[in-house]
Amino acid sequence: MNDQAVILESVSRAYGNVRAVDNVSLTIHAGEFFTLLGSSGSGKTTTLRLIGGFETPDAGRVLIGGVDVTRLPAYKRNVHTVFQDYALFPHLNVFDNVAFALSLKNLSRDELRRQVGAALELVQLAGYEDRKPGQLSGGQQQRVALARAIVDHPAVLLLDEPLSALDAKIRGEVREEIKRLQRETRITFVYVTHDQEEALTMSDRLAVMRGGRVLQLGTPLDVYERPADLFVAEFVGKANFLDGQLTSQAGTRATIRIADQTVDATLAFPIATGAAVRVMIRPENLRLQPPGQPGFTGVVTQSQYLGHATQYLVQSGALTLRVLELRRRGTVPHAEGAAVVVNWNWEEALVYPQTKAE
Amino acid sequence: MKKLVTLFTVLVFLFMHLPIIVIIIFSFSEGQILALPIKGWTLDWYRQALQDDRLRTGLMNSLKVATAATVLASILGTLGAVAIQRYRFFGRQAFRASVVFPILLPGIITGVAMLTFFANANLPLGLLTVIIGHATFGFPVVFNTMAARLARLPRSLEEAAADLGATPTQAFRRVLLPSIRSALIAGALLAFTLSFDEIIVTIFLTGNQNTLPMEIWARLRFGMTPEINATVTMVLVLSGLLVVTGQWLSRE
């Protein structure tokens, strides 16, 4: 069994002057839940369509299961897609929709029935065989689309923003469903989304894309805790960014002058002393302390009680800091207008070179 | 005011449909001459019309021509619509314009042009030439309804078919065609109806075989006869049935 389900080798695809996918190289392992994360226009959907065979790259190679499929049309690839609008065949009932891929192969009627039944069982839609897609709810249509795509066990399943057309209410439910399906079938899933929360919670690994390029490839933990650049840091999760100047460094520990404060943070990249830098720190890594402690002295301007946590905005001079504090029994949330000091552990803050405004 | 509007509506309705109603009534009238009052009722004219060889031949010719022209127009119209809506190629807009053009052409021009062409091509005039002539305006009719329908059909349906392993031919037959079936029926029906009562192009392109409208037209020169009324009434009922069937077949 080949461990590399999908390999993209320096793949590019342009539409006119727009480089939708720009020299992308990726390796997706067999049995992996892999996510392409990016906003619209980042090239994530085009990348998916290149794997599916709906687009042909201008340059580079696409390999599926170790075989070069660059020039192979979609119908010759052992890859199925769950489309954003589901694309269920409106004139066929649920059974015939799910049976579509099998019906193109030479299968006995009994074998076909058995496999369709198993697929419907897997998405918990047994008993809906005779319904037409128009008679199903959005969530049920979604599950038919999933069953139709996994019925003949493709090497790779591509999912194009499958949750975007669903109500927020059932989105969580379907998310669990998709994850469970992937665990049970062990099919390689390639999932496209613009939702960083989906990407973090569902993926084994993810690629953050922007402008047709992959900015970072890694586990959710890597991407969230060690963002490759400031864009990734801002796109995945929430973050505070503080501009300052690197005044000295020792190992990975850097000392930075921000406003009239001197603080310590971790160097994510080698940066020359004296350079203008930007410090990234997640709201949950900031600490609120009583006045008098070292750090940024400020005033709580907003206090939002979230149940499990409280979110604050603290104004310190020209800086606005977003702080997320987990609720603990016996503590009282800071009131708006309270004087506080904000500081952090140096390991939790990352230093990036200041790049041109983007 | 409301009564006036009602009256006006009724008058417009009568203006449009009274001639047809008169024909239907007179087709059952005993008298030879179309005049009121009606002396008695009879089905004789229907018997005579059905036994009239030339009317029967005309009807058969019309059905042959309309059916063949519709089949031809449906195949060409469907393929043309798929080409326009699903492929990008050089001269696409010009192709579209040139396909729709025959609808705008007056029948007399189509007739003269095709007559000249067939004469030069040494193709003897007959039902075949009429069929070709009728297909030229049936094609854009089917093409238009199909192109409009395809434009509204999401691309992802065909992609899904291909994605699940269907070759382009399989995808067309099993997904695309069923999805546009109702538009095809509607377009074909329109082409059939247009062909069935066409007379101008037919005059130019037919040999010695008359279609039903031409037979009726030829007889009218000797005055309106009751069996013509009966024939027209039967055609009316048949067309009505056809339209209802079409609606029923093309329901979503």
pLDDT band at A329, cuts 50/70/90? confident
Give the pLDDT score at B197. 84
- Alpha carbons B166 and A90: distance in angstroms, whole number: 17
Are the Cβ atoms of A87 and B159 closer than 8 angstroms? yes
Give the pLDDT score at A357. 46
- Alpha carbons A170 and A163: distance in angstroms, whole number: 9
The Cα diameter of chain A in Å comes to 79
Give the pLDDT score at A310. 92
Give the pLDDT score at B96. 84
Nearest by CB: B159 against A54, A91, A100: A54
Edge-to-edge order in the sheet of strand A4-15: A18-29, A4-15, A59-64, A67-68
- Alpha carbons B189 and B66: distance in angstroms, whole number: 10
Q: Which residues of A touch B161 (CB under 8 A)?
A: 89, 100
Distance from CA of A154 to the nearest CA of B (A): 9
Are the Cβ atoms of B163 and A84 closer than 8 angstroms? no
How far is C-alpha A165 from the geometric centre of its chain's CA atoms?
17
Please, which residues have CB within 8 angstroms of residue A112's CB and are 6 or more apart in sequence? A99, A102, A103
* Mean pLDDT computed over every residue of chain A: 91
- Alpha carbons A11 and A13: distance in angstroms, whole number: 7
- Overall average pLDDT of the A11-36 stretch: 93
Nearest by CB: B156 against A73, A87, A148: A87
Distance from CA of B155 to the nearest CA of A (A): 9
Edge-to-edge order in the sheet of strand A319-326: A287-289, A339-343, A296-305, A309-316, A319-326
- Alpha carbons A128 and A88: distance in angstroms, whole number: 14
- Alpha carbons B99 and B91: distance in angstroms, whole number: 12
- Alpha carbons B216 and B52: distance in angstroms, whole number: 12
Residue-wise pLDDT for A239-277, tens only, equals 999 999 999 998 889 999 998 889 999 998 888 898 999
- Per-residue burial over B197-233, b = 16 or more CB atoms within 10 Å of its CB, e = otherwise: ebeebbbbbbeebbbbbbbbeebeeeeebbbbbbbbb
Side chain identity at A37, as an amino acid letter?
L
* Residue A356 in contact with partner chain B when CB distance is under 8 A: no
How far is C-alpha B82 from the geometric centre of its chain's CA atoms?
22
Q: Which residues of A touch B168 (CB under 8 A)?
A: 75
Side chain identity at A62, as an amino acid letter?
V
Q: Which helix (H) or strand (E) holds B237?
A: helix B226-249
Q: Name the one residue in this structure whose structure tokens are 């049976």.
A: A99
- Overall average pLDDT of the A125-135 stretch: 91
Q: Are B27 and B229 in contact (CB under 8 A)?
A: yes
DSSP state, residue B214: H
- Overall average pLDDT of the A323-336 stretch: 85
Give the pLDDT score at A297. 92
Interface test with A, best of B157, B163, B169, B184 (most A CBs within 10 A): B163
End-to-end Cα spacing for chain A: 44
pLDDT band at A186, cuts 50/70/90? very high
Q: Which residue has the higher pLDDT, A2 or A298?
A: A298
Please, which residues have CB within 8 angstroms of residue A93's CB and are 6 or more apart in sequence? A129, A130, A131, A132
Please, which residues have CB within 8 angstroms of residue B2's CB and are 6 or more apart in sequence? none
Around Cβ B56, how many Cβ atoms within 10 Å?
15
Per-residue pLDDT of chain B (252 residues; tens, 9 = 90+): 888 999 999 999 999 888 888 888 888 877 776 667 777 788 888 888 888 888 888 888 899 999 999 999 999 999 999 888 888 888 888 888 888 888 888 888 888 998 999 889 888 888 888 899 899 888 998 998 888 888 888 888 999 999 999 999 999 899 988 888 888 988 898 889 889 888 888 888 888 888 888 888 888 887 777 888 888 888 888 888 887 887 777 665
Listed range (A21-25, A339-343, B39-43, B94-98) with the worst mean pLDDT = B39-43
Nearest by CB: B175 against A79, A89, A105: A89
- Per-residue burial over A37-56, b = 16 or more CB atoms within 10 Å of its CB, e = otherwise: bbeeebbbbbbbbbbbbbbe
What DSSP letter does each residue of B105-148 carry, written as one string? S-HHHHHHHHHHHHHHTTPPPSHHHHHHHHHHHHHHHHHHHHHH
pLDDT band at A1, cuts 50/70/90? very low
Are the Cβ atoms of A89 and B170 closer than 8 angstroms? no
Distance from CA of A9 to the nearest CA of B (A): 22
Listed range (A6-10, A316-320, A327-331, A337-341) with the worst mean pLDDT = A327-331
pLDDT band at A358, cuts 50/70/90? very low
Q: Which helix (H) or strand (E) holds A52?
A: helix A44-52
Identify the three-state secondary structure at position A7: strand
Distance from CA of A147 to the nearest CA of B (A): 12
- Alpha carbons A215 and B45: distance in angstroms, whole number: 86
Residue-wise pLDDT for A37-55, tens only, equals 999 989 999 999 999 999 9
Q: Which residues of A touch B165 (CB under 8 A)?
A: 75, 101, 104-105
- Alpha carbons B108 and B205: distance in angstroms, whole number: 11
Global confidence as pTM: 0.79
Q: Residues 297..316 of A with a Cβ closer than 8 Å to B: which?
A: none
Tokens representing residue B5 in the block: 């509007």
- Overall average pLDDT of the A121-130 stretch: 90
Nearest by CB: A101 against B154, B159, B164: B164
Q: Which residue has the higher pLDDT, B243 or A72?
A: A72
* Residue A15 in contact with partner chain B when CB distance is under 8 A: no
Up-side HSE of residue A42: CA atoms within 13 Å toward CB?
21
Tokens representing residue A79 in the block: 């890859």
Is the pLDDT confidence value at A342 over 80? yes
End-to-end Cα spacing for chain B: 40
Around Cβ B143, how many Cβ atoms within 10 Å?
26
* Residue A26 in contact with partner chain B when CB distance is under 8 A: no
Q: Are A312 and A288 in contact (CB under 8 A)?
A: yes
Strands (E), chain A: 4-15, 18-29, 33-37, 59-64, 67-68, 79-82, 156-160, 188-193, 205-210, 213-218, 240-250, 253-258, 261-267, 276-281, 287-289, 296-305, 309-316, 319-326, 339-343, 350-353
Tokens representing residue B105 in the block: 């052409």
Q: Are A259 and A266 in contact (CB under 8 A)?
A: no
Give the pLDDT score at A313. 94
